[in-house]
Amino acid sequence: MRTVERLISIFDAILEWIGRITEWLLVPLMLLLVGEVIMRRIFDSPHMWVGAIATQIYSLHFLLYSSTALIKDAHVRVDILYYRLSPKKKAIFDLITYSIMLILPSLFFAREGYKYAAIAWARREVTQTIDRIPIYPIKTVIPIAFILLFIAGLSEFLKKIAELQKEDV
């Protein structure tokens, strides 16, 4: 049991560290967008590239922070029936849903995301705007994000198993 708790602790520490770094992506995103509003409204000088860069920064934030949000229980959950369940039934429900809807799909999407990123790198894929901003680096984050989501799902899965074992004692 100690090994499992240690593994959970390591997984969560890594994911929280990534989350703390990823949170800072919102600062340049906000500065970029505020700067663009000022340039557009006051100086009548909009920049086409700002939208593409803002989308990439937000995508990076969303992709990398999703695993941290999972371990912090910050994801949106439809609690129509879930909140009425006992703690034991919630843990069992979570074990089933994490297995079917998170852990296995994360592995699939990590593999497919790798293929998608490899194609983007081979083509040196760029935006379709006049600025031709490279988008292959952000596509590289897709498989990384799903690997992190797999780790977060595994951590939560192990927590639920530990929770059930404590209740049975």
What pLDDT score does 122 carry? 98
What pLDDT score does 118 carry? 98
What pLDDT score does 168 carry? 65
Amino acid in position 36:
E
Contact 19, 12 (CB under 8 A): no
Q: What is the DSSP letter of 100?
A: I
Contact 87, 70 (CB under 8 A): no
Q: What is the DSSP string of 67-86?
A: HHHHHTT-S----SSGGGS-
Look at the alpha carbons of 122, 133, 108, 162 in this order and tell me if their dihedral is positive or negative.
positive
What pLDDT score does 34 carry? 97
Count of residues for the chain? 169
What six digits make up the tokens of 95?
């074990």
Rounded to an integer, what distance in angstroms lies between the CA atom of residue 71 and that of residue 19? 10
Q: Which residues contact 109 (CB under 8 A, 6 or more apart)?
A: 142, 143, 146
- What is the block-wise mean pLDDT of the chain (169 residues), using blocks of 10 residues? 91 98 97 97 94 95 97 84 89 94 96 98 93 94 98 97 81
What six digits make up the tokens of 48?
């086409």
Crossing angle of helices 26-41 and 48-71, in 10° steps, is 150
Task: State the pTM of this model.
Answer: 0.91
